[in-house]
Structure 1
Amino acid sequence: MNTYFSLFTEAVLGLVILFILTKILGKTQISQLTPFDFISAVLLGELVGNALFDPDAGIMEIAFVVIVFGTIIYFVEWLTQKFKRTRALLEGSPSIVIYKGKMIRDVMKKNKMDINMLQQLLRDKDVFSLQEVEYAILESNGKLSVMKKSDYQTPTRKDMKLAQQEVKLPTLLINDGEIIYDNLKEKNLTVEWLQEQLELQGYRSVEEIFVAEYTKGEDLFLVPFINRNHEKWQ
């Protein structure tokens, strides 16, 4: 029993420390995984995993290993922020694989990229033909940034000489049958107003609504619960 309790305690501690470390390093570490970040994540996970099943490693040993390794990662991140010349070495640098509609084979070869891989990355960007691409840049995190040729770009309001429109951010007022009171208060709305809007669209109570999305100047967008027959929730 003591063994299981010790494993549980060490696992929870490792998770908490890793979570705190992630918060300290910032959100970009999650969305922008550079080669150094990838190596760090693998090694850090391996260190914690091995420490959990090492009979000679206790809570203090796990905490020490994670804190030391986290400090190293933090120092490297600080180094890349402070000294720009270290970024290319530690974080990598973007590579242009398509330039003015032409594939740069030397760059593709250097990055171990073949035509099939390039086509797959392009399809992820909703590009199904190489002739649509003017520029393609392989980012340091492995993602592909694409600029299409002008003939294949989606026209904007500016291209069509249309007047600008205000951009409005929708707000969730109901989630899973429950009112989000903070959002309601933020938009200076009341529960009574919300109930009226529901009744206008034929619903009696908040419990009938899975999601309610509010956008200023527009009708309340409602997604009701549905039963197994895919009929309106009763």
Structure 2
Amino acid sequence: LEPTRSYQVEGTISAQYVTYKLVVRDPEGINNAVVGLGGTYHGSQATGRSPGDQYVQQQGAVIFQLILNDRDLQAGVPARSHLVLPKRYGEPTKYKNWYIWRIENVWLCARPWGDKVSLQPLSRKYKDYQAMVAEGRKTAWVTDVARVADVGDFESLKQALDKTLIDDSEWESQGRLSYLSLAGDRIVMTYQQNGAIGDAVVNGEKRILKNWPVLESPYTKQELYSGLLEVDDPKLGKWQLRGKLMGPEWE
């Protein structure tokens, strides 16, 4: 996260080309699937992302917004945001306002907002990837993931999605989106039109960045300033990697 909107186009270019990234492990361990969500994809911004990207994540659920202000437009920031994923997973299945892919043993569900939403190929340089693109000065996404082992087949997933709840009644006027996720978490995000970090409330608790973990997922966790990376893999078991002066040590 950047504290302010950055329009720098020179200097060190960040390799983080998207604001949110999901990696789904290939069962064969050969070709993991990488899914990215963000505004500019491989653009000229030195931060590696659009200046106005704002998001909040709780477990597998994400709310992302990009609402361009006048300075963004003057700087040439594209009026679009992208959900990028490998082309080998094909076109999504549509259910109500959700676009759904099965990626290995995971269901990926995406609900976009924009003037126009379409599935588009990327450039020849990234010919193995495709993008669901939301176009417009105001775009937003809710994405959620669930393991097939936990949710079941597509019909079961539809029933689970029917229990989620999206409230976008204040999005046009205030940039506020609310989502009750597949995991049962309630996430509320309010976009900051001229800022870089949106206001977020998760399960009734306001997000305070100094308490926000460095990593938090079903398999990995690292609290801020803890120096301890915890890994809990269903097959490999539990591991801890602690940072020390002489180098990291496994525990």
Shorter-chain TM-score tier: under 0.3
Greater Rg, structure 1 or structure 2? 1
Query: Going by fraction, where is helix more abundant, 1 or 2?
Result: 1
Between the two structures, name the one with larger relative contact order (CA 8 Å, sep ≥ 6): 2
- Give the TM-score, by structure 2 length: 0.20
